[in-house]
């Protein structure tokens, strides 16, 4: 296949990456606002970025800081600070791996497990608002397209 963009057709403001970036920025801001609007969640000052880590651990898509860094393209220092904050809030905990004491796994605490469903519901509300006007088939197609972009990375 040929190149998608050429110097004649490329516009930064209309490019796929710019649009994805804008959607991500708007989605995180909307999720931050939704989380802040809930008394229980806002009492712990959980941000959208922190919610994503909690959700990833809750859905067992990662179990260590290293895996989270790879999943979100965060540097180790930034991830350590995020994990420290979530641990200080009592939502996650570090556990040494019993098979290999060099490894430290992350897991939700009981407080994190009990708060996750509420945060997930808020996240779904935000996503449903952003996807208003799309059919379920269109959303599945969009998910496939975005997954294909990630396969090219």
Q: Domain ranges for the chain, please list them.
A: 20-151
Query: Which single residue is written with the structure tokens 């090219």?
Result: 152
pLDDT digits (tens, 9 = 90+) for 56-83: 999 988 888 888 888 888 888 999 999 9
What pLDDT is recorded for position 104? 86
What pLDDT is recorded for position 109? 96
* Nearest CA among 26, 39, 33, 24 for reference residue 115: 39
Please state which CATH number belongs to domain 20-151. 1.10.10.10
pLDDT digits (tens, 9 = 90+) for 16-26: 999 999 999 99
* Nearest CA among 45, 44, 90, 83 for reference residue 62: 83
Q: What is the pTM of this model?
A: 0.87
What pLDDT is recorded for position 128? 98
Q: How far apart are CA 113 and CA 110, in angstroms?
A: 5
Mean pLDDT of the chain: 93
What pLDDT is recorded for position 124? 98
Q: At residue 148, does pLDDT exceed 90?
A: yes
Q: How far apart are CA 67 and CA 62, in angstroms?
A: 6
H and E: helices and strands count for the chain: 7, 2
For the record, the structure tokens of 57 come out as 């651990």
């Amino acid at each position: 296949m040929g190149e998608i963009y050429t110097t004649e057709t490329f516009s930064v403001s209309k490019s796929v990456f710019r649009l994805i970036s804008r959607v991500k920025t708007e989605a995180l801001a909307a999720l931050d606002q939704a989380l802040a609007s809930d008394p229980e969640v806002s009492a712990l000052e959980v941000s959208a970025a922190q919610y994503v880590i909690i959700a990833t651990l809750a859905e067992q898509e990662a179990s260590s800081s290293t895996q989270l860094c790879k999943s979100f393209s965060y540097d180790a220092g930034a991830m350590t600070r995020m994990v420290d904050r979530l641990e200080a809030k009592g939502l996650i905990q570090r556990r040494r791996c019993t098979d290999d004491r060099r490894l430290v796994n992350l897991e939700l605490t009981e407080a994190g497990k009990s708060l996750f469903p509420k945060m997930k519901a808020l996240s779904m509300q935000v996503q449903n608002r952003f996807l208003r006007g799309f059919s379920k088939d269109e959303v599945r197609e969009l998910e496939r397209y975005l997954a294909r972009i990630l396969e090219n990375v």
